[in-house]
Amino acid sequence: MMIKKYVDDLFHGYESTAELEDFKEEIIINLKDRVQDLEKAGKSSDKAFAEAVSELGDITAIADDLSREKRKEIIGKMYVDPKPKLSAGYAIGYTLAAGILLFGIITSLITYFSAENNLFIAISSFLPFVVPAGAALTYLGLTTETTAKYPMNWKRALIYALAVGVILFGISISSSHYFMENSDPAAILGVLVPFVLPGVLVIAFLMLTEKKRFKPWLMQEHERYHEAYAGYYKDTEEVTKRGMLSGALWIGAIGVFLLIWILTNILYALPVFLFAIVGELLIEYRMISKHKRNSATK
Amino acid sequence: MEGRISADLLRGHTDTIVLGILLKNDAYGYQIYKSIMDRTDGLYQLKEATLYSSYKRLEKEACIVAYWGDESQGGRRKYYRITDKGRVQYKQNIADWEFTQRILNRLLKEEDD
């Protein structure tokens, strides 16, 4: 059954459909007839087979047509391979980070109760644990491959992790300050802002410039979703971008507001929000005009 | 100077060739292939793949219908039968070809006159 095996091999990668099986049967019988004729004309069976096959030509284009839909599904599924395995290094990393975090919580609780319910010391003792643990967990989480997403580039993930670390550092320092006796609100903000603001801005920048790390099958799902809801949400991606933009705008505005407040006076700081509102309106205007342009070209 | 066959040109007429063969009687793939080979005396070899895509196309356009024969030996064969639409299509294609040929001759042989 050389011919049958040959044809089977030819369509090896294709999902079997009724049409394809039909087509295969047709090719096989035609090849058989051809080989028989060539043998009758005096060719050896090997030669006859080789000649018949060479006359067949490129059959895959037709097969593509017949099983295109099915094949799409297969390719989709191929990428949804069973859950990616966590490497030993990552498993250790996660465990260590979680351990450090847990240890930090316990330590700060012990300090809290032994230092006569002093929150300042408790939070201060939590600091050395939460910062590295938070940064490490961020890094590990972003660079871990999941069923839905590819891992992030390690350099980018490292920047994220550092930013998270800096934010956590700022928050814990300033909150421990808050519980310190005779603390000055301005001083707390003075500690908070220089850490949190740049950290948040860095993360906002990274998020805005984020590339998609979804796996192909998920993209297809998204596409199907887009198609299904095309009437309701014209472009969900645009909406997301818009949300991120105004998010970044407001975080920045609050940061600047706090900074001016600390450095000068709250009265000088308030106009910042006016600018932010103007900025928000500009974003909205840009989105609308872009949308109009898009629908005009459609 | 001896002429050579333009494979592209011929391929563009595969559908008409197939319809022409089926005009007389129903045939299965290898019969059609063989009758093309016989007619061209092996001067031009049409790949079978070209024919298969032609069958698929003609079937989709309802110019031909396929059915399985009931051979008792050596496996069943898939036969093709031309439909009324196929006959009309064939006549149209031939008329188109003759018209094209006239025009082409006029254009290509212009310098000879």
Euclidean distance between CA atoms A250 and A248, whole angstroms: 6
Rounded to an integer, the average pLDDT of A43-56 is 87
Task: Name the least confident of A171-175, A193-197, A238-242.
Answer: A238-242
Fold classification of B7-112 (topology level): Arc Repressor Mutant, subunit A (1.10.10)
A37 part of contact set with chain B, CB < 8 Å? yes
Burial of B30 (0-12, 13-18, 19+ CB in 10 A): buried
Rounded to an integer, the average pLDDT of A206-230 is 71
Task: With beta carbons less than 8 A apart as the criterion, state whether B77 and B69 touch.
Answer: yes
A56 part of contact set with chain B, CB < 8 Å? yes
Chain B residues touching A28 at Cβ < 8 A: 75
Residue ranges per structural domain of chain A: 2-79
Q: Which residue of chain A has the CA closest to B75?
A: A29
Interface of A with B in 17-36 (CB under 8 A): 22-23, 25-30, 32-34
Q: How many CA atoms, within 13 angstroms, populate the side-chain half-sphere of residue A180?
A: 14
The answer to whether A62 contacts B76, with C-beta atoms less than 8 Å apart, is: no
Report ipTM (2 d.p.): 0.85
pLDDT digits (tens, 9 = 90+) for A3-36: 888 888 888 777 777 888 888 889 999 999 999 9
pLDDT top residue among A179 and A163:
A163
- Dig out the tokens for A176 from the structure: 């421990």
- Residue of B11, B14, B28, B30 to mutate when probing chain A, most A C-beta within 10 A: B30
DSSP string across A3-31? HHHHHHHHTTTSPP-HHHHHHHHHHHHHH
pLDDT at A285 over 90: no
CA dist A80 to A90, A140, B18, B37, Å? Answer: 21, 21, 44, 48
B60's enclosing H/E stretch is helix B48-60
Residues 6+ away with beta carbon under 8 Å from B46: B10, B11, B14, B33, B36, B37
Q: Looking at residue A80, what is its pLDDT?
A: 46
pLDDT at A232 over 70: no
- Residue of B10, B52, B57, B77 to mutate when probing chain A, most A C-beta within 10 A: B52
User: Sorting pLDDT into bands at 50, 70 and 90, what band is A63?
Assistant: confident
Task: With beta carbons less than 8 A apart as the criterion, state whether A45 and A3 touch.
Answer: no
User: Sorting pLDDT into bands at 50, 70 and 90, what band is A264?
Assistant: confident
Helix locations, chain A, DSSP H? 2-10, 18-40, 45-56, 60-79, 88-114, 119-143, 154-179, 185-208, 216-228, 236-263, 266-269, 271-297
Task: With beta carbons less than 8 A apart as the criterion, state whether B50 and B8 touch.
Answer: no
Chain A residues touching B74 at Cβ < 8 A: 29, 32
Chain A residues touching B58 at Cβ < 8 A: none
CA distance B73 to chain A (A): 11
Q: How many CA atoms, within 13 angstroms, populate the side-chain half-sphere of residue A88?
A: 0
- The closest CB to that of B30, out of A22, A33, A58, belongs to A33
Out of A68-72, A125-129, A292-296, give the one with best mean pLDDT: A125-129
User: Sorting pLDDT into bands at 50, 70 and 90, what band is A257?
Assistant: confident
Chain A residues touching B78 at Cβ < 8 A: 22, 25-26, 29
pLDDT digits (tens, 9 = 90+) for B71-108: 777 788 999 999 999 999 999 999 999 999 999 888 88
User: Sorting pLDDT into bands at 50, 70 and 90, what band is B41?
Assistant: confident
Q: Looking at residue A84, what is its pLDDT?
A: 67
Euclidean distance between CA atoms A248 and A166, whole angstroms: 18
Rounded to an integer, the average pLDDT of A188-195 is 79
The answer to whether A29 contacts B76, with C-beta atoms less than 8 Å apart, is: yes
Rounded to an integer, the average pLDDT of A274-294 is 79
φ/ψ of residue A149, rounded to 5:
-130, 150
Euclidean distance between CA atoms A237 and A211, whole angstroms: 12
Burial of B9 (0-12, 13-18, 19+ CB in 10 A): exposed
Euclidean distance between CA atoms A131 and A232, whole angstroms: 43
Q: Which residue of chain A has the CA closest to B52?
A: A62
The answer to whether B75 contacts A28, with C-beta atoms less than 8 Å apart, is: yes
pLDDT at A73 over 60: no
- The closest CB to that of B45, out of A32, A55, A61, belongs to A55
Q: Which residue of chain A has the CA closest to B37?
A: A55
